[in-house]
Amino acid sequence: MNEKGKVVLAYSGGLDTSVAVKWIQEAYGLDVVTLTLDLGTHEDLDRIRRRALDVGAVKALVVDAADVFVEYFIWPALRAGAVYERAYPLATALGRPLIAKLLVDTARQEGAHAVAHGCTGKGNDQVRLDVAVKTLAPEMDIIAPAREWKMTRQQEMDYAAQHGIKVDVTRKSPYSTDENLWGRSVECGVLEDPWAEPPEDAFAWTASAADAPDEPEYIEIDFEKGVPVALNGRQMGGAPLIEELNHTAGRHGVGRIDHIEDRVVGIKSRELYEAPAAVVLHAAHAALEGMTMTRPALRFKEVVSLHYADMIYDGLWFSKFHQDLAAYVLSSQQVVKGSVRMKLFKGQGVKVGVRSEYGLYRKALATYDEGDQFDHRAALGFIALHGLPTRTQAQVLKTALPDETLRPRLSPPEIKPK
Ligand code: ARG
Q: What is the CATH number of the domain that holds 221?
A: 3.90.1260.10
Residue 411 pLDDT > 60 = yes
Give burial (CB, 10 Å; 0-12/13-18/19+) of 350.
middle
50 labelled catalytic = no
Q: Which residues line ligand 1 (CB under 6 A)?
A: 92-93, 124-125, 176, 178, 185, 187, 261, 271
96 labelled catalytic = yes
User: β-pairing, 217-224 with 227-231?
Assistant: antiparallel
Residue 166 pLDDT > 90 = no
Whether residue 345 sits in one domain with residue 202: yes
pLDDT band with cut points at 50, 70 and 90 for residue 407: confident
176 labelled catalytic = yes
Residue in 219, 217, 218, 237 with CA at minimum distance from that of residue 227:
237
Contact between 37 and 99 (Cβ < 8 Å): yes
Q: Which domain holds residue 215?
A: 177-293+336-363
Cα(258) to ligand 1 centroid in Å equals 13
Q: Which residue out of 51, 96, 184, 270 is catalytically annotated?
A: 96
Q: Which residue out of 108, 176, 262, 310 is catalytically annotated?
A: 176
- Residue 61 pairs in a beta bridge with 35
Last residue of a domain, one of 145, 172, 199: 172
Per the domain annotation, does 298 fall within a domain?
no
Residues 267-271 have a mean pLDDT of: 96
Whether residue 218 sits in one domain with residue 134: no
Residues 12-34 have a mean pLDDT of: 96
193 labelled catalytic = no
Ligand 1 atom closest to Cα of 96? 12
Dist. CA 131–CA 122, nearest whole Å: 15
Residue in 289, 395, 301 with CA at minimum distance from that of residue 336:
289
Q: Which residue has the higher pLDDT, 154 or 55?
A: 55
Dist. CA 291–CA 83, nearest whole Å: 20
Ligand 1 atom closest to Cα of 271? 1
Which pTM does this prediction carry? Answer: 0.94
